[in-house]
Amino acid sequence: MTALLTNTAALFETARELTHGGRGILAADESIKTMSARLEADGIPASETARRDYRELLLTAPGLSESVSGIILADETFGQRLSDGRAFPASCRELGILPGIKVDTGTTPLPGRDGALITEGLDGLGARLASYAERGAAFAKWRAVFDVHTADPYVARANGHALARYAARCQEHGIVPIVEPEVLCTGDHELAASAATTQLALTAVFDELEAAEVDLAGIVLKPNFVTPGLDAPKLSPAEVATATYEVLRETVPASVPGIAFLSGGHPTDDVCAFLTALAALPNRPWGVTFSFGRALVSAALRTWAGNPENVAAAQSRLLANCRQAAAAT
């Protein structure tokens, strides 16, 4: 019982540290395939070393910990060393940033569901979490993906169930689970479609978390902002914040300590404006912050271009975006 209570308190502390205090999370956990494609899109030959050098550039940006509380790493990076020989997870802690690990193994189509996706990675998850915890992981991440055109109650329940089993397993190992149900922003759908799908997904996720007896005080939720599709006319930050808050208020229990939003392909200025408007709404029960990937790193990757002479300039671009996002909280 005492160990359980200690675990509960520690999970809550970590979840708070990640989402409160004006800092947020840097999502640098692109799979090898995604990271390689992003390097190549910027003219950088993809290799294990190039992926390592790029993640080292991000982590060692001077003063990153002033705006970043945690960094999500992919398995490859988690096992790599910086050029000075230090392991990535240990370096994160030395730099004042909690190390996290993406533990899902990606998505696959659900049979007969028009291309709707299910996220995989539950087999052997306990053993992997034990190893990550031993090597210093403070938190983990699992991303479920929903499309407004294919999401339905079954798809939401199946993905919610996987997220809940993942979250329960993380807590068993003293690791805070980031629970990420992402409704994709790609397309030209209206705000109402994003709102309905986000509501469907979050309702199923919290039903399943409750059924799995996950301690909600020891998780971080990572949702999308409720917006029209990226190809549809934009709405104001106030409209996005109001629509997002309406869905969250209906679906997310007050016991969840913090919500860290994904950026979903929206430009940096837009997602920061959404976050500023949402953070300003009164009587919010949860802390709100960012867990952006592309909105923080895209400019840095372009500036670096694989050239060691550009490291400092690339780090400046990253830091500027992280400071802007932190200011929005």
Distance in angstroms (rounded) separating the CA atoms of residues 119 and 117: 7
Catalytic residue selected from 222, 239, 250, 309: 222
Distance in angstroms (rounded) separating the CA atoms of residues 137 and 99: 5
- Of 9-17, 41-49, 290-298, 308-316: span binding ligand 5MM (CB under 6 A): 290-298
> Contact at 8 Å (CB) between 10 and 276?
no
Give whichever of 176 and 262 is closer to ligand 5MM, judged by the CB atom. Answer: 262
Residues 172-201 close enough to bind ligand 5MM by CB under 6 A:
182
Q: What is the dihedral of CA 85, 89, 94, 96, to 10 degrees?
A: 150
> Contact at 8 Å (CB) between 146 and 184?
yes
For residue 249, with 0-12 CB atoms within 10 Å meaning exposed, 13-18 middle and 19 or more buried, which class applies? middle
Catalytic residue selected from 17, 30, 180, 182: 180
- Of 14-22, 114-122, 243-251, 293-301: span binding ligand 5MM (CB under 6 A): 293-301
Q: Catalytic annotation on 222?
A: yes
Q: Catalytic annotation on 208?
A: no
Contact between 295 and ligand 5MM per CB under 6 A: yes
Nearest to 221 by CA among 267, 164, 148: 164
Contact between 264 and ligand 5MM per CB under 6 A: yes
Smallest distance from ligand 5MM to CB 264, Å: 4
| Residue of 6, 34, 83, 307 that binds ligand 5MM (CB under 6 A) | 34
Distance in angstroms (rounded) separating the CA atoms of residues 116 and 134: 35
Contact between 108 and ligand 5MM per CB under 6 A: no
Smallest distance from ligand 5MM to CB 71, Å: 11
Give whichever of 29 and 147 is closer to ligand 5MM, judged by the CB atom. Answer: 29
Contact between 59 and ligand 5MM per CB under 6 A: no
Contact between 143 and ligand 5MM per CB under 6 A: yes
Which residues have a Cβ under 8 Å from the Cβ of 122 and sit 6 or more positions away?
162, 165, 166, 169
Q: Is 6 helix (H, G, I), strand (E, B) or coil?
A: helix
Chain contacts with ligand 5MM (rule: CB under 6 A):
27, 29-31, 34, 143, 182, 262-264, 292-295
Q: Which residues are catalytic?
A: 180, 222
